[in-house]
């Protein structure tokens, strides 16, 4: 069994288009023309563009519940786009915009907007009203709302809603994801001024709407804030009255509106203890200061390490002074008093001595300062003790606690009231600041050229869709066509080899004075291949040609094959066994009716073999036609009579060719095929569906016929057939 390569190449698709090239080109031209016609008649549209920058930062309002901080998310710009096209913004555009001195409602009621249908009717010189009347005639009236009367207010609302929808359909918004710049576009039909006016009006309405929305939130917050200030002010007044009542109740007239600690009741004892400790500390500092003042400088230097814990600096200076003295004495031995080194050494000793004196003076000043601080602390504690003794003697701790609670509540209420008043002042100033909802970076200008239709773009789109539709139709028809389209497909369906390929427009050789070599060669290939696959080699053999259905070319193939075999020197007999539609007599004799005896007469014993054999026009070629009584042949063909006839004919002819009827629907073909040595199935290119071919092969197999191959008939001759190229090239040469 042959293995068929099922890979589909680009050339296979090209072949499909070439098979239906006329249909492809026709659809391409028609669809392109329709597309260009529709594109040419599209109404002119003008687009105006305004560029704005949307600032996403929200202002903080007075109350925490209304505070909003911007955070960028994936839905922010989409939300703003929907806000631009919202009903409230578009209603502001309708209320404020004017074109040619009239509002939008009047403008659109007066405007005669061209449509595609109007332009097409105008191009075809057809009355538009007539077309609309025909369309309305076929419309159903069942869905119409009858008997309902709308009020003027409802009618106005419907008009406004329709106008809002119309404006929304005209808006297109574009943005750059990397920036906050937004391009707002409005497209108007046949009116560049309309596009410009509406675009600028939309930008203004959107900005005003954002400002009004923000101010509404701020005013609402201010209203709530004023209410809270009034409530808090009343609470402060109430708490002040409460503090005064507690003071009068417990006779605490000496206390101010300040919190008194619970420990103030026993403050006197604590201050007495602190005063005693402060006096002891003062005495210590006084004794130390007196001792230091009585010490000489050497005694102070010796005691410096005990008096001051951090005396390393002074000792370092003393060591440096001793070293300087030694250095000075050594220099005096060798140098005079006026020498520069002697003078520098003296100067250094004086500087170190001064630093040491300053350090000792600082120590004395430090102890004096400590003494003064201790004395001041004793004086302060003494004053506080005298004041607390006169103020809190005899005061009850529970009364102080109640007073402190009232004062604490008052202070908290006053603090909250101050904060609220501060916020209120800030928001009242903030609301007076001029603001804008958006920043307009580019206003819409009057468009000078229409944005559509674009002739080049519409032409390219039309050609693209025309090509796609044409290609789709061709491939769809090819998909629906399940007939045999190639030799590979034929061999795959029949599971046997193809003996030859007969091209289109192959003539009947009997009717040609000199058939072309190319057409003859296809049948010579059939003759040669048959000799290789035939079950009979040297003996006389019977070859039957049949097909799955009528019109596949089996009769022409039988006649031309007999012609080629006779030219090869074989004694050939062609039998027309298609008793339903015999045609062999018309191919050889050129007659449409049979006037001589034939196969039916032989099978019915009305004639002998010699009576039915007709000598052909060519040498070595004879015919047995169907006979004159072929219309009443039913039941006449039987295997015994045919077998007897074939045995006698084998003795007279080397090759017997039988033109059998189609396999499907006629029993004669299977009977004749079972008696033939070789059976060849003729299949027409793009003929019957492949399932018919498979069914015919099953019938032949069940009848015991020896099917040796197929003939691919009426094939479109392309350059992939070697014979076409070979003979064409030879003619040119």
In Å, what is the CA distance from 622 to each residue of 555, 573, 616, 637, 654? 15, 5, 5, 21, 11
Reported as a single tens digit per residue, the pLDDT across 84-105 is 889 999 998 988 888 888 888 8
User: What does the domain layout of the chain look like in residue ranges?
Assistant: 262-394, 484-732
pLDDT band at 56 (very low <50, low <70, confident <90, very high): low
Q: How many CA atoms lie within 13 A of 576 on its CB side?
A: 29
Distance CA 372, CA 369 (A): 5
Instruction: Report the DSSP beta bridge partners of residue 689.
Output: 483
Q: Which residues have C-beta within 8 Å of that of residue 422, sequence separation ≥ 6?
A: none
Q: Which residues have C-beta within 8 Å of that of residue 634, sequence separation ≥ 6?
A: none
Do 403 and 247 form a contact (C-beta atoms < 8 A)? yes
Q: How many CA atoms lie within 13 A of 476 on its CB side?
A: 8
Reported as a single tens digit per residue, the pLDDT across 660-670 is 989 887 777 88
Tokens coding 432: 């007076």
Instruction: Report the DSSP beta bridge partners of residue 541.
Output: 655
Distance CA 388, CA 265 (A): 9
pLDDT at 671: 86
Mean pLDDT over residues 164-182, rounded? 84
Please state which of the ranges 130-139, 223-232, 257-266, 413-422 shows the lowest mean pLDDT.
257-266
Tokens coding 630: 């072929």
pLDDT surpassing 60 at residue 140: no
Please report where in the chains the tokens 């009305």 appear, as a residue. Answer: 606
Could you give phi then psi for residue 711, rounded to 5 degrees?
-120, 120
Reported as a single tens digit per residue, the pLDDT across 494-515 is 889 888 888 888 888 877 766 7
H/E element, 524: helix 517-533
pLDDT at 312: 64
Please indicate whether residue 566 or residue 721 has the higher confidence score (pLDDT).
Answer: 566
Distance CA 668, CA 576 (A): 12
pLDDT at 165: 92
Instruction: Report the DSSP beta bridge partners of residue 51.
Output: 183, 442
Nearest to 411 by CA among 514, 258, 272: 258
pLDDT at 572: 92
pLDDT at 680: 93
Could you give phi then psi for residue 197, rounded to 5 degrees?
-60, -45
Question: Is the pTM here over 0.75, yes or no?
Answer: no
3-class DSSP state for residue 334? helix
pLDDT at 153: 83
Please indicate whether residue 213 or residue 314 has the higher confidence score (pLDDT).
Answer: 213
The vertex-315 CA angle with 339 and 374, nearest 5°, equals 130
Tokens coding 431: 């609301």
Distance CA 560, CA 546 (A): 14
In the sheet that 439-442 helps form, which strands lie side by side, from edge to edge? Answer: 171-175, 181-189, 45-53, 439-442
Q: Map 172-204 to HEC letters.
A: EEEECCCCCEEEEEEEEECCHHHHHHHHHHHHH
Q: Which residues have C-beta within 8 Å of that of residue 278, sequence separation ≥ 6?
A: 374, 377, 378, 381
Tokens coding 397: 């701790």
Nearest to 122 by CA among 57, 243, 44, 41: 41
Do 97 and 104 form a contact (C-beta atoms < 8 A)? yes
Distance CA 675, CA 661 (A): 14
Q: Taking the mean position of all CA atoms in its chain, how far away is CA 156?
A: 40
484-732 in CATH: which number? 3.40.50.300
Do 721 and 521 form a contact (C-beta atoms < 8 A)? no
Do 292 and 364 form a contact (C-beta atoms < 8 A)? yes
Do 501 and 526 form a contact (C-beta atoms < 8 A)? no
Do 23 and 473 form a contact (C-beta atoms < 8 A)? yes
Reported as a single tens digit per residue, the pLDDT across 209-219 is 888 888 888 88
Q: Map 77-129 to HEC letters.
A: HHHHHHHHCCHHHHHHHHHHCEECCEEHHHHHHHCCCCCHHHHHHHHCCCCHH
Reported as a single tens digit per residue, the pLDDT across 434-446 is 666 677 878 888 8
Q: In the 8-state DSSP scheme, what is residue 568?
A: T
Query: What is the rounded end-to-end Cα distance, in angstroms, of the chain?
Result: 40
Choose the most confident range, by mean pLDDT, from 348-352, 358-362, 555-559.
Answer: 555-559
Tokens coding 274: 């602190």
Tokens coding 528: 């040669």
pLDDT band at 269 (very low <50, low <70, confident <90, very high): low
Number of residues written out for the chain: 733
Please report where in the chains the tokens 């026993």 appear, as a residue. Answer: 266
Tokens coding 290: 């007196």
Q: Which residues have C-beta within 8 Å of that of residue 695, sequence separation ≥ 6?
A: 548, 663, 664
């Amino acid at each position: 069994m042959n293995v068929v390569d099922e890979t589909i190449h680009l050339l296979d698709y090209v072949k499909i288009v070439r098979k239906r090239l006329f249909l492809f080109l026709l659809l391409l031209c028609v669809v392109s023309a329709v597309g260009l016609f529709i594109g040419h008649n599209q109404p002119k549209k003008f687009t105006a563009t305004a560029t704005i920058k949307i600032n996403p930062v929200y202002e903080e309002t007075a109350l925490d519940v209304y505070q909003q901080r911007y955070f960028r998310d994936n839905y922010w710009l989409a939300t703003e786009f929907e806000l631009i096209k919202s009903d409230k913004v578009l209603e502001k555009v309708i209320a404020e915009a004017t074109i040619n001195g009239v509002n939008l409602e009047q403008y659109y009621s007066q405007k005669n907007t061209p449509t595609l249908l109007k332009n097409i009717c105008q191009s075809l010189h057809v009355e538009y009203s007539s077309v609309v009347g025909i369309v309305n005639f076929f419309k159903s009236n069942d869905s119409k709302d009858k008997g309902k009367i709308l009020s003027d207010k409802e009618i106005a609302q419907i008009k406004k809603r329709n106008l809002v929808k119309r404006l929304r359909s005209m808006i297109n918004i574009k943005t750059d994801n990397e920036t906050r710049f937004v391009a707002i576009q409005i497209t108007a039909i046949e009116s560049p001024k309309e596009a410009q006016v509406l675009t600028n009006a939309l930008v203004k309405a959107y900005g005003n709407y954002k400002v009004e929305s923000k101010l509404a939130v701020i005013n609402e917050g201010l209203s709530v804030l004023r209410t809270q200030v009034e409530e808090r002010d009343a609470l402060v007044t109430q708490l002040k009255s409460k503090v005064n009542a507690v003071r009068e109740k417990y006779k605490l007239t000496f206390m101010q509106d300040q919190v008194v600690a619970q420990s103030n009741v026993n403050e006197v004892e604590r201050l007495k203890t602190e005063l005693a400790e402060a006096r002891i500390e003062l005495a210590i500092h006084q004794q130390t200061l007196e001792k230091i003042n009585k010490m000489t400088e050497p005694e102070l230097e010796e005691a410096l390490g005990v008096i001051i814990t951090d005396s390393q600096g002074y000792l370092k200076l003393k060591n440096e002074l001793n070293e300087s003295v030694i250095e000075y004495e050594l220099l005096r031995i060798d140098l005079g008093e006026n020498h520069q080194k002697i003078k520098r050494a003296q100067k250094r000793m004086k500087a170190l001595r001064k630093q040491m004196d300053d350090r000792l003076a600082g120590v004395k000043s430090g102890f004096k300062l400590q003494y003064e601080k201790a004395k001041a602390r004793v004086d302060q504690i003494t004053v506080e003790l005298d004041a607390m003794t006169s103020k809190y003697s005899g005061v009850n701790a529970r009364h102080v606690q109640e007073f402190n609670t009232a004062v604490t509540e008052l202070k908290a209420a006053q603090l909250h009231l101050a904060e609220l008043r501060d916020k209120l002042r800030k928001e009242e100033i903030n609301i007076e600041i001029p603001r804008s909802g958006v920043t307009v970076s580019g206003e819409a200008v009057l468009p000078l050229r229409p944005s559509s239709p674009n002739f080049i773009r519409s032409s390219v789109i039309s050609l693209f869709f025309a090509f796609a539709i044409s290609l789709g139709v061709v491939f769809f028809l090819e998909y629906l066509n399940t007939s045999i389209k190639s030799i590979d497909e034929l061999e795959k369906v029949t599971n046997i080899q193809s003996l030859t390929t007969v091209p289109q427009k192959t003539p009947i050789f009997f009717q040609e004075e000199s058939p072309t070599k190319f057409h003859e060669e296809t049948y010579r290939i059939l003759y040669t291949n048959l000799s290789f696959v035939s079950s009979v080699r040297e003996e006389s053999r019977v070859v039957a040609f049949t097909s799955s259905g009528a019109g596949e070319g089996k009769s022409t193939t039988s006649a031309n094959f007999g012609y080629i075999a006779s030219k090869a020197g074989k004694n050939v007999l062609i039998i027309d066994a298609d008793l339903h539609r015999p045609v062999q007599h018309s191919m050889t004799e050129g007659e449409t009716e049979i006037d001589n005896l034939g196969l039916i007469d032989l099978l019915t014993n009305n004639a002998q073999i010699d009576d039915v054999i007709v000598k052909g026009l060519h040498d070595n070629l004879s015919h047995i036609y169907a006979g004159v009584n072929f219309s009443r042949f039913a039941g006449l063909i039987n295997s015994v009579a045919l077998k007897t006839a074939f045995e006698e004919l084998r003795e007279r002819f080397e090759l017997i060719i039988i033109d059998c009827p189609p396999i499907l629907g006629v029993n004669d073909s299977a009977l004749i095929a079972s008696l033939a040595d070789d059976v060849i199935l003729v299949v027409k290119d793009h003929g019957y569906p492949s399932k018919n071919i498979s069914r015919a092969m099953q019938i032949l197999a069940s009848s015991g016929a020896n099917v040796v191959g197929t003939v691919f008939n009426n094939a479109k001759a392309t350059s992939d057939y070697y014979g076409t190229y070979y003979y064409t090239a030879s003619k040119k040469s």
